[in-house]
Amino acid sequence: MSQRKRAVKNRRPKVIPMRLDATFFFERAVQSLDRYHYDKALKYFRRAVEYEPENPVNHCNMAGILSEMGRYEESNVILRSVLDQIDPAMTECYYYLANNYANMELFEAAEEALVRYLENDLEGQFLEESDELLDLLHYELNRPTKLVTIKAKENVYAHDKARELLEAGRFTEAVKILEEIISRQPDFLAARNNLGLAYYYMGLFDKSVATITEVLAVEPGNLHALCNLAIFYQHSNQEEQLRALIEKLNKTVPFHPEHVFKLATTLGIVGEHREAYQHFRRLLRTGELSGEPSLHHFAAIAAVNLKRYEEAKKYWQNAERLDPESPVPKFYLKRLDAVRAGGENPPTHYHYHLPFEEQFKQWEHSPGQVTEAIKNDPLIRSSFFWALRHGDRRTKVQVIQALGLVADEEVIEALKSFLVDPDEEDELKRVAVLVLRSIGVQDSLAVTFSGRTLTLEARRKSARLPVWDSSWQVVLEHALEGMAGRYDVVQQHDMMTLWVDYLSRVYPEVPKLHKSTAWAAALEYWTAKMHRRTVTYADLVSRYGVSQASISRYANRIDEACGIREKLDLTRQSFN
């Protein structure tokens, strides 16, 4: 073989064959666009479409070039074919159509296409450009565009709604919306933060901490999450974790007033009054929030804990001047001298409402007032839900009874959740069951008693009691005490149901309950009869310390109202 032939043979493997496919022509089209060679770019995009006719991106690229060349109608034909024949889910085509129609001065058609884009596009790639186009259409059509929703902003709108519900104290509704948002958009940290806060207001500590921890796993410096977690740690007595977090917060100097306020109140709640006071004073000096009476109140709380009594007095006077109708500044001004003299402890809670115990004193003889307060004041509402979970026993009883006066869906859900909490006392759960029955909740109830979850069957609906009197509760407690250890949970529940039924039937002509133990014995008497349990008057007299005549008289009154003896006779006949 000659040397020349060998050289030719050796060169052949170096020839790289050109692969003509959609990618090749796409790249050539992009190169032509970079050089503003629109005719060549169009030619190459057409070839890309020929190789991949089912790929909507190639069609959209071709439509985009035609639009750049001013050939809007041709561009629209391609865009409509993409939506009608190739990929109806490619919603950005509606935005391209709207742009083309606007350039053609067909503003009605542009508006229709833009609305279709905004109401159907999930990604929101062209939201900013859409805002500009909306402004143009508003000007040209001399009217605003009617939009039902912006699909890409649905979670934002839902989050705003959830925040409104939180501020209104409707925590259960807020939780449902926030959970749905996070299921759709897990990286929506603001929604996750507020969900943790909603759980906290409902007294669900474990869920609160878990949710906030998820936020910090994504964004370790999220100030709202750090502040929320500090409060959660304090109320769950996790001192070591709280101390480490406080050290971090004390080194934080936020810029935005909203962040400063959040940090200041958090530091105050966890007992860091000096740092809290500095941040409150900083906010008041800037003037942006100086007209808020609550801010002056918080500054006063911090000052009085630092024994700066004159400064505390000045801030409470400012709050009173800004909010003369509120009882809060007046209440604390009256007690300032006692705190200064050491006769009272300084207040430590950073809330712009009266202390919980004081609220109950004022509402003790006014059920309507407490109902309106819980319904209309989210701070008071949240304090009741908090006390339901974390107050002492006496406070919880008061809260359960007070919530029964409100009796909305959220209260019912909160009380039902309370019934299955294994950490709550059985006696408190019995009160909650009684209140639920008294407000008309007659469906089955799941209750955890002594570690066992039981279902209390649905009962016949009785007339709703508008109030729950403390004397009625005394009878109930005597009966529960007398029946303890002798009757199971279901039988005790039936006794409570009987008591509510009796009171409902005779209300408002409820007799004076001077002999509460005798009424309690009468309730046990009928409960035993309903469950075919043997009980004698002698036994009841011995255990309740009342006369047989009294027990018999009250048992007859209950029977007259409820017709128990007749029902028992009918039951016996059906078994004979």
- Overall number of domains in the chain: 4
Amino acid letter, residue 259: H
pLDDT at 331 over 70: yes
pLDDT at 15 over 50: no
User: What pLDDT is attached to residue 470?
Assistant: 77
CATH number, position 31? 1.25.40.10
Q: Categorize the per-residue pLDDT at 33 as very low, low, confident or very high, splitting at 50, 70 and 90.
A: low
Q: Categorize the per-residue pLDDT at 4 as very low, low, confident or very high, splitting at 50, 70 and 90.
A: very low
Average pLDDT over residues 56-63: 81
Domain with 30 in it: 22-150
Q: How far apart are the first and last CA of the chain?
A: 121
187 with 260, same domain: the answer is: yes
Q: What is the DSSP string of 458-519?
A: P----PPPS---HHHHHHHHHHHHHHTTTS-HHHHHHHHHHHHHHHHHHTTSPPP-S-HHHH
489 with 526, same domain: the answer is: yes
121 with 165, same domain: the answer is: no
User: What pLDDT is attached to residue 21?
Assistant: 56
174 with 295, same domain: the answer is: yes
392 with 492, same domain: the answer is: no
Q: What is the largest CA-CA distance in the chain?
A: 137
* Residues contacting residue 177 through CB under 8 Å, at least 6 positions apart: 158, 159, 161, 162, 165
pLDDT tens-digit series, residues 463-480 = 556 666 778 888 988 898
pLDDT at 344 over 60: yes
118 with 135, same domain: the answer is: yes
Higher pLDDT, 166 or 36: 166
Among residues 293, 327, 361, the one where a domain terminates is: 327
Average pLDDT over residues 210-218: 91
Closest CA to 53 of 8, 22, 13: 22
User: What pLDDT is attached to residue 122?
Assistant: 67
* Residues contacting residue 41 through CB under 8 Å, at least 6 positions apart: 29, 30, 32, 33, 65
292 with 377, same domain: the answer is: no
Q: Among 8-12, 373-377, 438-442, 507-511, which stretch is predicted with the lowest mean pLDDT?
A: 8-12
Higher pLDDT, 202 or 20: 202
Average pLDDT over residues 492-515: 85
pLDDT at 312 over 80: yes
pLDDT at 502 over 70: yes
Question: What is the rounded average pLDDT for all residues in the chain?
Answer: 81
Average pLDDT over residues 277-303: 87
User: What pLDDT is attached to residue 17?
Assistant: 46
> Measured at the alpha carbon of residue 389, what is the angle toward residues 383 and 394, in degrees to the nearest 5?
85
Total-model pTM: 0.56
Domain-embedded: residue 50 = yes
pLDDT at 16 over 50: no
Domain-embedded: residue 11 = no
User: What pLDDT is attached to residue 547?
Assistant: 93
* Distance in angstroms (rounded) separating the CA atoms of residues 456 and 105: 69
Q: Among 287-291, 545-549, 571-575, which stretch is predicted with the lowest mean pLDDT?
A: 571-575
pLDDT at 14 over 60: no
Domain-embedded: residue 145 = yes
Domain-embedded: residue 196 = yes
CATH number, position 545? 1.10.472
Domain-embedded: residue 470 = no
* Distance in angstroms (rounded) separating the CA atoms of residues 280 and 453: 48
Closest CA to 176 of 395, 377, 413: 413
User: What pLDDT is attached to residue 458?
Assistant: 67
**Residue 194 and residue 224 in contact, taking contact as beta carbons nearer than 8 Å:** no
Tokens of 305: 């804990």
* Distance in angstroms (rounded) separating the CA atoms of residues 499 and 530: 14
Average pLDDT over residues 318-335: 91
118 with 233, same domain: the answer is: no
User: What pLDDT is attached to residue 150?
Assistant: 65
111 with 38, same domain: the answer is: yes
* Residues contacting residue 135 through CB under 8 Å, at least 6 positions apart: none
C-alpha dist (Å) from residue 390 to 171, 203, 240: 17, 7, 21
546 with 408, same domain: the answer is: no
**Residue 558 and residue 526 in contact, taking contact as beta carbons nearer than 8 Å:** yes
Residue 387 burial by CB count (10 A; 0-12/13-18/19+): exposed, middle or buried?
buried
Domain-embedded: residue 334 = no
Average pLDDT over residues 232-253: 85
Among residues 90, 115, 150, the one where a domain terminates is: 150
Query: What share of the chain in percent tops pLDDT 90?
Result: 19
Domain-embedded: residue 290 = yes
pLDDT tens-digit series, residues 138-196 = 888 888 877 666 666 777 788 888 888 887 767 888 899 999 989 888 888 888 999 99
pLDDT at 235 over 80: no
User: What pLDDT is attached to residue 7?
Assistant: 44
User: Chain centroid to CA 195: how far?
Assistant: 6
User: What pLDDT is attached to residue 171?
Assistant: 80
C-alpha dist (Å) from residue 104 to 78, 142, 301: 16, 18, 65
pLDDT at 5 over 60: no
Average pLDDT over residues 209-230: 89
User: What pLDDT is attached to residue 135?
Assistant: 86
Element (H, E) at 50: helix 38-51
177 with 245, same domain: the answer is: yes
Among residues 125, 150, 175, the one where a domain terminates is: 150
77 with 159, same domain: the answer is: no
pLDDT at 320 over 70: yes
User: What pLDDT is attached to residue 267?
Assistant: 92
Q: How many CB atoms lie within 10 A of CB 553?
A: 14
pLDDT at 522 over 90: yes
Domain-embedded: residue 545 = yes
Higher pLDDT, 35 or 13: 35
